[in-house]
Structure 1
Amino acid sequence: MQTATPAERKVSRPRADALRNRERIVTAAREMFVEDGPEVPLDEIARRAGVGNATVYRNFPDRQALVREVVCSVMDRTARAAESALAETGDAFEALSRFVHVSAEERTSALCPMISAGFDKNHPDLEAMRERVEQLTEMLMERARAAGQLRPDVGVGDLMVAVAQLSRPPAGAGCLSADRFVHRHLQLFLDGLRAPARSELPGAPVTMEDLRQS
């Protein structure tokens, strides 16, 4: 096996450092967006990430590019959690439940305001990640439905809305202070999804297309 020359190693190190810096920026931005909202100063993000302002702007030319990267990274982790749940061979509903709890940890609902006004919701990167998450979630739900464990009158949109609403703090409550209640309330919701259904739901199952058109 050919060993890299000192010159080659010297070239590769900055690249690895640059990737680590980018990851630190995205992690810090996600934390601060959740805590303080999408308008948090980029200088503050750089400070938490432990990098200089120039490093932030070198990786992300504007705030929208950074917001998009944060949202895509959250959706990527959510998709990987769904893939991990699909790889499980045990109880289908329990796999779906674990995915719901893990995805709630990503605080997607806290990022929702960032993908509203002034944000390109149709950017190809975001659309691809959104489609991936939706497809994997539907696969998890269909597997539980086929096993007779998930009530048949719920759709992906129903699940997404409930997770977003239940993981979002109520008005007047701090975003982080409500965290300790999230999984309790999610479990109450998940118990209501089990088949056989205890009641009839009004309306039809909600799809993601329904949500996009509303």
Structure 2
Amino acid sequence: MSPAADTEARRSTRPRADALRNRERIVMAAREMFVEFGPEVPLDDIARRAGVGNATLYRHFPDRDTLIHEVVLFVLTRTTQQAHEAAEEADPFEGLRRFTHAAADERIGALCPLLSGSFDKHFPDLTREGVRLEEAVEALFARAKEAGRLRADVAVGDLLVALSQLTRPLPGTACLSIDRFAHRHLQLFLDGLEAPARSELPGLAATLEDLSSSTP
């Protein structure tokens, strides 16, 4: 094959810029609608929110599980990056605070319902990114505890449960302005994490193993 023909062949297999933009718009729209309406939201509604035709959505994502997989990977990857950036804060607790609000904006709270039910979450890329996220957040917790800025009786699972509970609309409310409440309530939650502790917590801290074992 001549150099010119080889270059043309590589161009023909490389995703076009507009196709990549459409794919990202679909993933972003799906992420928002999964938060608002749950994982069973009609795919046609997601296409409409993304501003693309149904055929475009199905060309990128032939079924619901394929789209959910991409959304989960997208959220995990972006949230892991947020954790690494938060670790650069001079004050360890401010780093944890920064990460918590950033994770809410990335819609990490949507992952719990997405990973339940019949969806197969045991893909190598999801497992790998999940481990990276866990390690990054564990590092934020360890750093804050070592500095005496985080109460000793909490674990990463406590934060993830709070994010899941506080960043999704209440069932049946169609509350599309949840962000302004979520960040307000997350700030109240974070105040409760800061050392010195003002009370004794009932029960045991939620570990990542606890959450994994309770997820179908």
Deviation at 1:55, TM superposition (A): 2.5
**Cα deviations by residue, 1:28-52 (Å, 9 ceiling, x for unpaired):** 2222222333222222322332333
1:142 matched to 2:142: yes
Q: 1:118 is matched with which residue?
A: 118
Tell me how far apart the structure 2 counterparts of residues 24 and 177 of structure 1 sit (CA, whole Å). 20
Matches within 5 A, 1:1-214: 11=12, 15-88=16-89, 90-214=90-214
CA distance in 1, matches of 2:175, 2:127: 27
What is the DSSP-based 3-state SS (H/G/I as helix, E as strand, rest coil) of the residue aligned with 1:87? coil
Amino acid at match of 2:91: D
The DSSP-based 3-state class of the residue aligned with 1:120 is coil
Do the aligned residues in 2 keep the contact of 1:153 with 1:205 (CA within 8 Å)?
Answer: yes
Contact 2:96 2:141 in 1 (8 A): yes
| 57-66 or 199-208, which deviates more | 199-208
1:82, distance to aligned residue in structure 2 (A): 0.5
Flag the 1:117–1:173 CA change in 2: closer, same or farther, 3 A.
Answer: same
CA gap of 1:101–1:129, structure 2 versus 1, over 3 A, is same
Cα offsets for 1:57-97 (capped at 9, x unmatched): 22222110101101111111111110111123x11101110
**2-side partners of 1:159 and 1:98: how far apart?**
13
Aligned length: 210
TM norm structure 1: 0.86
CA root-mean-square deviation: 2.4
Deviation for aligned residue 1:132: 1.4
Unaligned runs of 5+ in 1: none
Alignment gaps of 5+ in structure 2: none
Rounded Cα–Cα distance in structure 2 between residues aligned with 1:112 and 1:33: 11
Superposed CA offset, 1:96-154 (max 9, x none): 10110111122232443222111112222222222111111110111111111011111
Q: Percent identity?
A: 63
- Cα distance in 2 for partners of 1:76, 1:108 equals 10
